[in-house]
Structure 1
């Protein structure tokens, strides 16, 4: 006879499979605009229960708070990141966990990055995702300059393609750089069209980046365009070198606040694909 633990794991696995199957939709075709050339992609089509493609992603791990007073410990476990139903599933869980860094945290999640695997300056970076939703849940698709280890943050630059802090109908797109970071970052909230919600379906979150111009998109809608003219006087435009991508679901933090009794766990972000294009001459 199977133990109660085994039966519970089987039920959770079956529930996740049904969730992903119901939530997933046919993948959108690649951009056919002759001005764009696809140069990198993860279609997240690995076998159910397999880890993310480790030829494309690496894991950031630990429970240090990540400069934001986050409450989770990021892990590389399948419980927190796996491919299933044609999606990459990043799962935030409520559980006491001590990582390899020896820090105990009350939540776990995953943070994937292409640092050391893939970087690019300029082009179109897009991810098609269905977001989790709840107080204290902070999903994000973002980018950081590849010189981060040498010059540190925020001098390396940060492009937040999409962040959500528990608002069903609002996302944020933001630039961080020297002299305009953290609470002084250059941010644009975007309210979704009436009747749409970040957790109710898949949407494409994208940035089109060229020298001295960065445009953020929600599906096919332009959110905002940024140029050096938008920077505070005397500050520097640092978006002139390769950046790497990051996908994560944080729990808690100074900006979204912490989970409360209304927050349901587990929380899952489904990533249908991530694609990167370059602009043809």
Structure 2
């Protein structure tokens, strides 16, 4: 009898652990048309933040090749129009499309260069309500220079302002440096789970704490896809390495039933 009950308990445990959510494809962007879908995307305007101080709508920073979006970082050869030494292309869904409680996967290839800083990331859709870092930031992928790894990170008041790293807020994952890789994140009410090429990298959980702002991520987010150059983290640019490209094959957003 005890063996029967034990076997039944093991069966129930295995069955529950084997359960996986049923993902349903909700939206995808394949970049098949050689133009930006302006109902979803806008080019990113230049700003003062380190990640944004070379963003430009210059047509040379955007291209389509073999059904893929190409975002470039280039030397600015006409500083009478824009005083930035370098120009980069980037798109975001800010004010147009939000993502919440689902899985995002992006297939991309990243060229390497000194000072290259391509990124795929999420920010709060209602930015007027959630100022950085109180509303959080989810970095699906950042690559620096010639690295053979990418960084996957969350930022918040808890991790950035208070500087608390329990739980740890960032991890690296290996990539195929010269090939396409699939970068992904799952947004759950109780955790943010990162993966690369279908392999889980790490998870950032919601925890019980008396410190404020530990898990602000369970809110609608907008997506940012951008080529970046230079900055305090990535370092200076070598203009001899430019132009440098990030190719985006497709983006898919899944929701669970």
Q: TM-score, normalising length from structure 1?
A: 0.76
> Contact 2:159–2:214 at 8 Å: present in 1 too?
no
Question: What does residue 204 of structure 2 align with?
Answer: 226
Distance apart, 1:131 and its partner CA: 0.6
* Alignment match, 1:25: none
Q: Mapping of 1:22-171 within 5 angstroms?
A: 35-46=22-33, 50-62=34-46, 64-66=47-49, 68=50, 72=54, 74-97=55-78, 104-171=83-150
Displacement, 1:230? Answer: 9.6
- Tell me what 2:8 maps to: none
Task: Work out the CA distance in 2 between the residues paired with 1:70 and 1:136.
Answer: 14
| Equivalent pair of 2:158/2:211 in contact (CA under 8 Å) | no
1:216 is aligned to: 194
In 2, distance between residues paired with 1:120 and 1:69? Answer: 22
Q: Given that residues 111 and 246 in structure 1 are in contact (C-alpha distance below 8 angstroms), is that contact kept between their aligned partners in structure 2?
A: yes
State the secondary structure of the residue aligned to 2:158. coil
Q: 1:70 to 1:39 in 2, by over 3 A?
A: closer
Count of residue pairs brought into register by the alignment:
234
- CA gap 1:191/1:242 in 2 versus in 1, 3 angstroms: same
Measure, in 1, the Cα distance between the counterparts of 2:193 and 2:123.
16
Instruction: State the 1:120 CA deviation.
Output: 2.0
Unaligned runs of 5+ in 1: 1-32
Superposition deviation, residue 142 in structure 1: 0.3
* C-alpha separation in 2, matches of 1:88 and 1:174: 24
Q: SS state of the match for residue 76, structure 2?
A: strand
Over 6 Å off, 4+ runs: none
1:90 to 1:231, Cα distance in 2 relative to 1, 3 A = farther
Shift of 1:156: 1.6
Query: Could you tell which deviates more after superposition, 153-162 or 234-243?
Result: 234-243
Alignment partner, residue 7 of structure 2: none
Say what the alpha-carbon RMSD is for the aligned residues. 2.5
**1:250 alignment partner, SS class:** coil
Deviation string 1:243-275 (CA, Å, 9 cap, x unpaired) is 0100001110111011136x5111010000011
Cα deviation, residue 226, structure 1: 1.1
Mark the runs of 5 or more structure 2 residues left unpaired by the alignment. Answer: 1-19
Matched position secondary structure for 1:55:
coil
The structure having more radius of gyration, on CA atoms, is 2
8 Å CA contact 1:97, 1:108 repeated in 2? no
* Deviations, residues 43-100 of structure 1 (Å, cap 9, x unaligned): 0111xxx3322222111212x332x27652x22232112322110000110114559x
